[in-house]
Amino acid sequence: MLNIIKHRLDIWEEEPPYWETITAIDKRLYASSVPRSLIEIIKIRASQINKCAFCIDYHSREALQHGESSRRIFALSAWQESPLFTDSERSVLQLTEEITHISVGGVADETYEKVKAYFNSREIANIIICICHINFLNRVGVSTKTMAT
């Protein structure tokens, strides 16, 4: 039997000031020195973990439009076993997983130190905001059953 999913609520339509804040955060992230490809990889990976179909679809398309390869997007759910990601990307993907699963064990000192080896404090701040930002959006998307179009 086909399970028909019904979109529950458009929060952004009901409360437009929140959308203004959301888009301001995105604009700031994209203006930072963190590469756009890394921002999209973060957003896709957190969305995979959170099972937000809308965000997986949206950020995969964004990544492709900004030069990411479909091969790397396909391999993202198995990044630990894939040779397609750099050591700096791996450090951020580990951080993404630990922040997304924050209640499991927080963020390990080892993970943070690995990120520090590749990024300066300002970049780390932007990376952490990016991870938290997409986790927030995933929770809105999943709780309202936002559909991929």
Locate the domains of the chain by residue range. 36-144
Residue type, 108: A
Mean pLDDT across the chain, nearest whole number?
92
Q: What is the distance between the alpha carbons of residues 37 and 85, in angstroms, rounded to a whole number? A: 12
Instruction: Give 26: exposed, middle or buried? Use CB within 10 Å, 0-12, 13-18, 19+.
Output: middle
pLDDT band at 4 (very low <50, low <70, confident <90, very high): low
Tell me the mean pLDDT in the region 134-147.
Answer: 89
pTM as predicted: 0.91
Instruction: Give 109: exposed, middle or buried? Use CB within 10 Å, 0-12, 13-18, 19+.
Output: exposed
Residue, of 122 and 18, whose pLDDT is higher = 122
Q: In CATH, what number does 36-144 get?
A: 1.20.1290.10
- Burial string for 69-103 (b: 16+ CB within 10 Å, else e) reads eeebbeebeebeeeeebeeebbbbbbbbbbbbeee
Residue type, 69: S
